[in-house]
Homo-oligomer: A and B are copies of this chain.
Amino acid sequence: MIETMRQRRSIRRYADKEISEQLLNELLEVAMRASNTGNMQLYSVVVTRDAAMKEKLSPAHFNQPMIKGAPVVLTVCADANRFVKWADQRRAKAGFNNFETFTAAFIDAVIFAEAFAEAAEERGLGLCYLGTTTYNAGPIVEALHLPKLVVPVVTLTVGYPDEQPAQSERLPLSAIVHNETYRDYTPQSIDTLYHDKEALPANIQFVKENNKETLAQVFTDVRYTKVNNEYFSEEFKKVLKEQGFDR
């Protein structure tokens, strides 16, 4: 499994082959064994196989082709609804309509998603996370009929791989690890840590295609702009309020 992890890459093109109900359930069962907050299991997953439902979800993910191209789409949600309904029925008054509970449920949901991803890859499936989930959480709430106290946080498209893309680069380990306390980056350490990434032919090409001077500019000016980040911040906060997680 360590070797599978070491070799991993996101898969965006899938073979025309269904994932059996049995395999999917086995992987979901295994993922449920991962850690969660106080064993409250503050998450849910909506499984999309139906073409009409993929059609509905697609715009919320900016029509990235993985949604319609994957046999299975999993929308993993922070979910306090089930717990609170249980509490209501057991003479227990849950104070769960707040940001702290959302945070715990968010962590639970992402741990669950990643445990699923690891198990699925071990079984030969390919996956892609869609970061668009929190951008367009509102439309996803609507498409999937998510009730109060349920917020979608990550989406995984899953299928048998129909591509073998190059592995994407990573920063050196020393870029992300701090011993005992955080030692902040200096201009010199930044240059050193980002040197190989910036020197990669694929990244040089990427800068050129985007008509930018530096790789960083592709991210700040094209892919993750201030105006978009601020817009989606407000949208996501609105969803948290509407779904009852932030009175």
Contacts and interface: CB of A to CB of B under 8 A. Distances in A.
Interface of A: 1-2, 4-8, 10, 25, 28-35, 37-41, 43-50, 53, 79, 81-83, 85-87, 89-96, 98-101, 103-104, 106-107, 110-111, 113-115, 117-119, 122-123, 127-129, 131, 134-135, 144-147, 150, 153-154, 167-171, 173, 175-182, 184-185, 187, 190-191, 193-194, 213-217, 219-221, 223-230, 232-233, 236-237, 246
Contact of A229 (B48, B85, B95): B95
B90 A217 contact: yes
A185 B81 contact: yes
Contacts of A40: 219, 224
10 contacts: A1-B4, A5-B119, A8-B33, A39-B170, A89-B190, A89-B216, A94-B224, A95-B220, A101-B229, A107-B131
A114 B113 CA distance: 9
A194 B40 CA distance: 11
Contacts of A81: 184-185
A52 to B, nearest CB: 9
The number of times this chain is found in the oligomer is 2
A98 B44 contact: no
Nearest to A197: B39
A29 B173 contact: yes
B131 A96 contact: no
Given A93-B226, A177-B45, A1 B233 contact: no
Nearest to A7: B33
A-B residue pairs, 4 tightest by C-beta: A95-B226, A1-B1, A92-B216, A90-B216
A167 to B, nearest CB: 8
A242 to B, nearest CB: 15
Given A86-B190, A110-B107, A180-B49, A122 B214 contact: no
Given A5-B33, A91-B213, A180-B53, A134 B103 contact: yes
B89 A181 contact: no
